[in-house]
Amino acid sequence: MSDELERRDGLDRRDELTERFARLGDRPAVIDKGRTHSYGDLARAIRTTADRLRERGVAPHEAVVLNSDFSFGSIATLLALYLNRNVVVPLVAFTEGALRTINDSCAPRHLVKVADDGSELLVEPMTAAGPGAEPGAEPGAESAAATPEAYRPLVEAGAAGLVLLSSGSTGAPKAILHNLDTLVAEKAGSGDRVGSRTTNILMFLLFDHIGGINSLLGVFKVSGTAVLPARRTPEEICALIEEHGIRLLPTSPTFLNLILIGDYHRKHDLSSLRMISYGTEPMPEELLRRLHTALPRARLLQTFGTSETGISATTSESSESTYFRISDENVQYRIVDGELQLKSRTQFMGYLNYPDDSLTEDGWFRTGDLVEEKEDGFLKVKGRAKEVINVGGEKVLPLELESILLGSPLIDDCVVYGRPNSITGQSVCVDIKPSGAMTRAEARRHVHEFLEGKVEPFKLPAKVNLVEELRVSDRFKKQRIRA
């Protein structure tokens, strides 16, 4: 098959998604700031935006930074860039580290910003000097010399690409390159699961996060409706669940605990929820028990995935268990020295700015997650290998202590982490958000008394801090790595 025929075949496959949206017509696709956009609206917006991009010199396979969070316009633009076979770099917020990584590693040619409703599209040239600078070659010039070597397999396959940035909590963000055609084919599917009742799914996870992309493609797979929040606060999210009868909420354990602490599950009617999928960090067993008691009608599902391998389909042992099984025919797993390793069909193509030392010689991705496995194949995440606290040669898993401490009626939330210690190497520290008034001395005494007899003495925190709020990332994960 000639290169031209391969390109046409790839375009036809991508255009099938837009054709499917057009066939769904008036079925609601996106609810954004109270306005409902149909699948027909989305199909038209994708095609109109694709035409605008080409008119403004955005050539296939060029890297494009899409600066936006979820909106109807950003979703249409993402899919227009997919249709145009671009390498998309979604970015919710420009930070110094993210901008440096993108400029140094992604060879960005354009910066795209879009109005929420898709009515306006701003396309600026973007080079190492930053957005707005004149590029080294004419915009729209699709030349082999201008294509980074890392993108060459995408060009040869006639495929679109996706670059996701890691959180960068321990250094410069990693630029993670994916084949976007593969992700869409695997996660959006054929869309043949069309029922008479639409499934409203809340887009809680960010637009530039693998979980957010997975949630969006999952909406398309079931021909559901993506409900977009203006703000990700417990009040806003619970109000949207009540208003739109949300059936599926993908989120994190930390955010779910914020809902419980603020009593938002009682202030709003959350009875429409049929599933809460949680990931991005391990779930403390005590928190899961609290959630099951507070939201008994919702099935609680442990999800698992990484930015490098995509999100795997999983099955929880039950809504009261932190054990889960990877039930995805496209994902293989193995456990080596207690660490979970994955190999998937949606596996990344490589890092643009780091060596691929997270891959084994035979192509398995080292997740960095420590797990235990039961005889029936159910897994349980015990914590991150890099977060293990070494106290004089003894290992302490933060999740173990947090799960126990959350059983105290005097503690709303907590985070356990290690700090350097000149004698033992590291010491155990804990930040406590109390449920009521408490002095630091009272908090230390209560923590030690509550843990006594439940853990070995070396696991007792050497330092107990009282905090009004825990430190969490913009992805609502507890921050345990301290500078």
CATH number for the domain whose boundaries are 388-466: 3.30.300.30
User: What is residue 356's predicted lDDT score, i.e. its pLDDT?
Assistant: 87
Q: Residue 20: how many CB atoms within 10 A of its CB?
A: 18
Domain 3-186 belongs to what architecture?
Answer: 3-Layer(aba) Sandwich (3.40)
Strand, helix or coil at 161? strand
Average pLDDT, stretch 105-125?
A: 91
Return the exposure string of 97-106: e unless at least 16 CB atoms fall within 10 Å of the residue's CB, then b. ebbebbbebb
Given a cut of 80, whether residue 311 has pLDDT beyond it is: yes
Q: Which residue has the higher pLDDT, 210 or 12?
A: 210
Average pLDDT, stretch 196-209?
A: 90
User: What is residue 241's predicted lDDT score, i.e. its pLDDT?
Assistant: 97
Given a contact cutoff of 8 angstroms between Cβ atoms, the answer to whether 218 and 252 are in contact is no
In percent, how much of the chain has pLDDT > 70?
90
Q: Which residue has the higher pLDDT, 369 or 140?
A: 369
Helix axes 285-294, 398-405, angle to 10 degrees: 40
Return the exposure string of 295-321: e unless at least 16 CB atoms fall within 10 Å of the residue's CB, then b. beebebbbbbbbbbbbbbebebbebeb
Model confidence at 279, pLDDT cuts 50, 70, 90, reads: confident
Strand, helix or coil at 37? strand
User: What is residue 281's predicted lDDT score, i.e. its pLDDT?
Assistant: 87
Taking CA atoms, 40 is separated from 19, 47, 79, 180, 213, in Å, by: 9, 11, 14, 23, 21
Contacts of 339 (CB under 8 A, 6+ apart): 366, 367, 368, 369, 370, 371, 385
Percent helix / strand / coil, the chain, rounded to 5: 30, 30, 40
Average pLDDT, stretch 401-416?
A: 95
Model confidence at 476, pLDDT cuts 50, 70, 90, reads: confident
Average pLDDT, stretch 398-404?
A: 94
The two structure tokens encoding residue 7: 């390109």
Average pLDDT, stretch 326-337?
A: 94
Any bridge partners for residue 338, and if so which?
A: none
- In the DSSP assignment, the letter for residue 364 is -
Average pLDDT, stretch 287-291?
A: 95
Average pLDDT, stretch 198-202?
A: 91
User: What is residue 190's predicted lDDT score, i.e. its pLDDT?
Assistant: 67
Any bridge partners for residue 89, and if so which?
A: 65
| CATH 3.40.50.12780 in the chain, residue ranges | 3-186
User: What is residue 406's predicted lDDT score, i.e. its pLDDT?
Assistant: 94
* Alpha helices (H) along 272-371: 285-294
Contacts of 147 (CB under 8 A, 6+ apart): 61, 155
Q: Which residue has the higher pLDDT, 366 or 14?
A: 366
User: What is residue 95's predicted lDDT score, i.e. its pLDDT?
Assistant: 87
CA 199/CA 37 separation, integer angstroms: 15
CA 381/CA 365 separation, integer angstroms: 16
Element (H, E) at 178: strand 175-179
62-88 per-position pLDDT tens digit: 999 999 999 999 999 999 999 999 999
Computed over every residue of the chain, the mean pLDDT equals 89
| CATH 3.30.300.30 in the chain, residue ranges | 388-466
Average pLDDT, stretch 109-124?
A: 90
Given a cut of 80, whether residue 395 has pLDDT beyond it is: yes
* Alpha helices (H) along 131-179: 152-157
Average pLDDT, stretch 28-53?
A: 96
Given a cut of 70, whether residue 154 has pLDDT beyond it is: yes
Amino acid at 233: T
Given a contact cutoff of 8 angstroms between Cβ atoms, the answer to whether 238 and 265 are in contact is yes
Q: CA angle, corner 364, sides to 337 and 13, nearest 5? A: 150
User: What is residue 195's predicted lDDT score, i.e. its pLDDT?
Assistant: 62
Average pLDDT, stretch 251-258?
A: 94
Model confidence at 5, pLDDT cuts 50, 70, 90, reads: very low
How many residues are listed for the chain in this entry? 483
Phi then psi dihedrals of residue 457, to 5 deg: -55, -35
Average pLDDT, stretch 96-124?
A: 91
The two structure tokens encoding residue 200: 């409203």
Average pLDDT, stretch 139-146?
A: 41
Given a cut of 80, whether residue 480 has pLDDT beyond it is: no
User: What is residue 6's predicted lDDT score, i.e. its pLDDT?
Assistant: 43
